[in-house]
């Protein structure tokens, strides 16, 4: 069995002690298990972790690749390079990022780079005028680029952004304007983690956008297939196979009501299924940054047990939750999103604007890594093994940016 060596952090922050309701009377309809894990400083003997984790340094503008099998950490950026907007392909074999040269006039000739897990570039094309970011991959060949910089109204959030599908290997590209019936133009328009207001499925035949709710639109028949009534604060996320998307929604929303549950909507729009019932235990639950495991059998998210806790700077109320789709049970691991309470301004920043990353799954879907803040500009990276049931710190003063396969 391969046992990864722990990464030696530059300093070890205190492990926050979660405050958990001690009552055992969680109603069965909540489908909830509270299972608090202590965060270890070294891997337990039974641990087995593989692949390459991308880490972004908090203290210096640099990117590192961490080999989870050996513990070796290598620097990705070369001298005077600035790398950002990292996105890992669904198959976990490629990463895309923007590369620029520091201290160079005119940006130093920025590029869109596609690289393998060892950091070796496979393709580099010019970063074009108006491109503002890489929301993600549609599939293992096609990327989405946000090109809002080409339109002053899009660039200032007065209207939804135009996206671009690009295949960096074949040169294929397609402009994706946000021209859909009743799409929201409320200022400032939604950003939805770089996608703006249109999130496409892996085949580019479906799109979800905010209108009278979450609208599922068929691009082939040019018609709406379904509408999920809700405020549209949270972005939808397509499953790895494109068979459905999930979104945190509140269909019964009203002026004096608050509470989100995770819903699934099938790609044909015929099935809208509630996946959680957390309000049976947490009356005002919410979830942020939900992400699918590569196998499509689990969804991880940040669980907010009390939205009022944000206003009182009780950041530890937002904790890591994992939904098992086979059992429809949510496990609350009590790993805090933000244990830092020293800056009152932090508590006023919504999750989707705070720069905190969503949980990132390992290629085999058995482990995930999360960022847990303990100071204004400092985070430790925590690995949670949902199969062998442990949590361990793997890095300090860094942000996780992706997890890739280490080789064929």
Q: Provide the residue-wise pLDDT of the chain in tens; the chain has 408 residues.
A: 343 443 433 343 444 444 444 445 899 999 999 999 999 999 999 899 999 999 998 766 689 999 999 999 999 988 888 899 999 999 999 999 999 987 665 545 899 999 999 999 999 999 999 999 999 999 999 999 999 999 999 999 999 999 999 999 999 999 999 999 999 999 999 989 899 999 999 999 999 999 999 999 999 999 999 999 998 889 999 999 999 999 999 887 654 456 799 999 999 999 999 999 998 898 778 888 999 999 999 999 999 876 554 434 444 468 999 999 999 999 999 998 875 444 333 332 333 334 568 999 999 999 999 998 877 667 899 999 999 999 999 999 888 999 999 866
Q: In what order do the strands lie in the sheet with 121-126?
A: 81-88, 95-101, 111-115, 121-126
d(CA 193, CA 234): 9
Contacts of 199 (CB under 8 A, 6+ apart): 192, 207, 208, 209, 235, 236, 237, 238, 245
Backbone angles phi, psi at 310, to 5 degrees: -65, -45
DSSP secondary structure string for all residues of 117-168? TTS-EEEEEEPPTT--EEEEESSSS-EEEE-GGGSHHHHTTSSPPPEEEE-T
The confidence score (pLDDT) of residue 304 equals 85
- Nearest alpha carbon to residue 386 among 402, 370, 374: 370
Q: How far is CA 14 from CA 17, 164, 225, 243, 373, in A?
A: 9, 44, 50, 42, 11
- Nearest alpha carbon to residue 360 among 377, 387, 383: 383
Q: Which pTM was predicted? A: 0.88
Whether 142 contacts 205, CB under 8 Å: no
d(CA 404, CA 63): 14
Task: Tell me the pairing of strands 367-375 and 378-385.
Answer: antiparallel
Which residue carries 């790398």 as its tokens? 83
pLDDT in tens, 341-388: 443 333 323 333 345 689 999 999 999 999 988 776 678 999 999 999
Q: How far is CA 126 from CA 112, 116, 121, in A?
A: 6, 19, 14
* Tokens coding 91: 């198959």
């Amino acid at each position: 069995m391969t046992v990864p060596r722990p990464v030696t952090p530059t300093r070890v922050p205190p492990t926050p002690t979660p405050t958990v309701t001690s009552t055992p009377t969680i109603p069965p309809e909540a489908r909830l298990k509270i299972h608090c894990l202590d965060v270890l400083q070294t891997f337990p003997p039974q641990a087995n972790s593989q692949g390459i984790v991308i880490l972004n340094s908090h203290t210096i503008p640099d990117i590192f690749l961490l080999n989870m099998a050996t513990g070796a950490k290598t620097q990705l950026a070369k001298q005077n390079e600035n790398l950002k907007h990292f996105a890992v392909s669904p198959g976990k074999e490629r990463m895309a990022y923007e590369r620029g040269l520091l201290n160079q006039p005119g940006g130093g000739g920025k590029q869109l780079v596609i690289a393998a897990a060892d950091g070796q570039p496979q393709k580099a094309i010019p970063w074009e005028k108006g491109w503002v970011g890489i929301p993600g991959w549609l599939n293992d060949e096609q990327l989405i680029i946000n090109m809002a910089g080409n339109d002053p109204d899009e660039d200032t959030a007065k209207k939804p952004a135009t996206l671009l599908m690009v295949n960096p290997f074949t040169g294929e590209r397609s402009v994706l304007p946000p021209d859909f019936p009743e799409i929201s133009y409320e200022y400032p328009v939604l950003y939805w983690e770089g996608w703006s207001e249109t999130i496409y499925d892996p085949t580019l035949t479906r799109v979800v956008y905010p209108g009278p709710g979450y609208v599922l639109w068929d691009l082939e028949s040019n018609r709406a297939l379904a509408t999920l009534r809700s405020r549209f604060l949270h972005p939808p996320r397509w499953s790895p196979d494109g068979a459905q998307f999930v979104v945190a929604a509140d269909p019964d929303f009203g002026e004096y009501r608050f509470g989100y549950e995770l819903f699934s909507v099938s790609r044909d729009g015929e099935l809208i299924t509630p996946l959680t019932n957390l309000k049976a235990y947490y009356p005002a639950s919410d979830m942020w940054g939900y992400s699918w495991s590569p196998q499509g059998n689990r969804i991880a998210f940040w669980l907010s047990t009390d939205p009022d806790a944000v206003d009182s700077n009780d950041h530890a109320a937002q904790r890591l939750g994992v939904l098992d789709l086979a059992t429809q049970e949510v496990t609350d691991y009590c790993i805090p999103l933000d244990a830092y309470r020293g800056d009152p301004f932090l508590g006023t920043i919504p999750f989707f604007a705070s720069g905190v990353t969503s949980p990132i799954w390992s290629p085999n879907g058995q482990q995930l890594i999360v960022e847990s803040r303990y100071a204004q500009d400092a985070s430790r990276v925590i690995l949670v093994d949902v199969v062998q049931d442990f949590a361990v710190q793997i890095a300090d003063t860094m942000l996780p940016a992706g997890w890739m396969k280490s080789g064929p």
